[in-house]
Amino acid sequence: CTDTSGYVETPYNARGLYLDNAASGYTIKGNVFRDAVTTGLFIHFGLNNTIENNVFFNMSNLDDSANGQWSYAHYWDSVNKSYHDVFARNIIAYFNLSYAGSTQQAIGCPSWGSCAAWKHPEFQVVDYNLYYMYNTKESSWTSLSDVTPGGDWARWTSKGFDTHSIYADPAFESGTLCVGSDSPAVQELNFMPLPRDTCTC
């Protein structure tokens, strides 16, 4: 989409990271993904991938192919089953935005997908992550009925996902997506602060 001056406002179908066509054996570490209009991370048939110690900031799922299921802050889109992948020690922070009355999910898959990867224990690890929705109390966020594909937070963790993850303000340094030693992600989850040339954006 462009504004009246012709500048791109929302690049069509943009994703932060796209592991397609059974991309396998990758380690994605130490990156900042921000403001992608479709999703932060897309895995399609991937095996043995490790996604750790990244920042996913203000991602969304604005995908025309999603049959109108528009919502913000998806960081993972898995259409088909993926095996032995690891998603750990990442920061997922976003704003409480909405589109067409949709709900806001932290973890999701498109309405046309089976979400099978989230309903069965194919993922080796989904844990030790920090989640935060700005201006939203933890009790309100965890009680959202569809904050995850498995339902509310209690149902999600009962399936073995994110049992050591936390909900907390990541304490980004002013004007950056950098965290210091005082961040809960560092103190409680052993998140390794990113180089300033990576997180100052």
Q: What is the 3-state secondary structure (H, E, C) of 39-67?
A: EEEEECCCECCEEECCEEECCECCCHHHC
pLDDT at 160: 85
Note down the domain range covering 161.
15-170
CB 86 within 8 A of CB 128: no
- Determine, yes or no, domain membership for 176: no
| Cα–Cα dist 159/149, whole Å | 11
- CA nearest neighbour of 76 among 34, 99, 110, 52: 110
Is this structure's pTM higher than 0.75?
Answer: yes
- Determine, yes or no, domain membership for 8: no
- CA nearest neighbour of 19 among 74, 79, 73, 89: 79
pLDDT at 195: 96
Q: Could you give the maximum distance between any two Cα atoms of the chain, in Å?
A: 50
- Determine, yes or no, domain membership for 184: no
- Determine, yes or no, domain membership for 159: yes
- Determine, yes or no, domain membership for 175: no
- Determine, yes or no, domain membership for 177: no
CB 77 within 8 A of CB 28: no
* Residue-by-residue pLDDT tens, the chain, 201 positions: 455 666 555 566 677 788 877 788 999 999 998 877 667 777 777 788 899 999 988 876 444 333 333 333 344 444 455 567 888 999 988 876 544 344 455 565 544 344 444 444 456 788 999 999 888 899 988 888 777 767 788 988 988 889 999 999 999 999 999 999 999 999 999 999 999 999 997
Helix, strand, or coil (residue 151): strand
Looking at the structure of the chain, the number of domains it has is 1
| Cα–Cα dist 190/121, whole Å | 24
- Determine, yes or no, domain membership for 187: no
Scanning the structure block, which residue is given the tokens 């907390």? 168
- Determine, yes or no, domain membership for 186: no
| Cα–Cα dist 137/60, whole Å | 20
CB 80 within 8 A of CB 45: yes
| Cα–Cα dist 27/95, whole Å | 27
Pairing of strands 91-95, 130-134: parallel
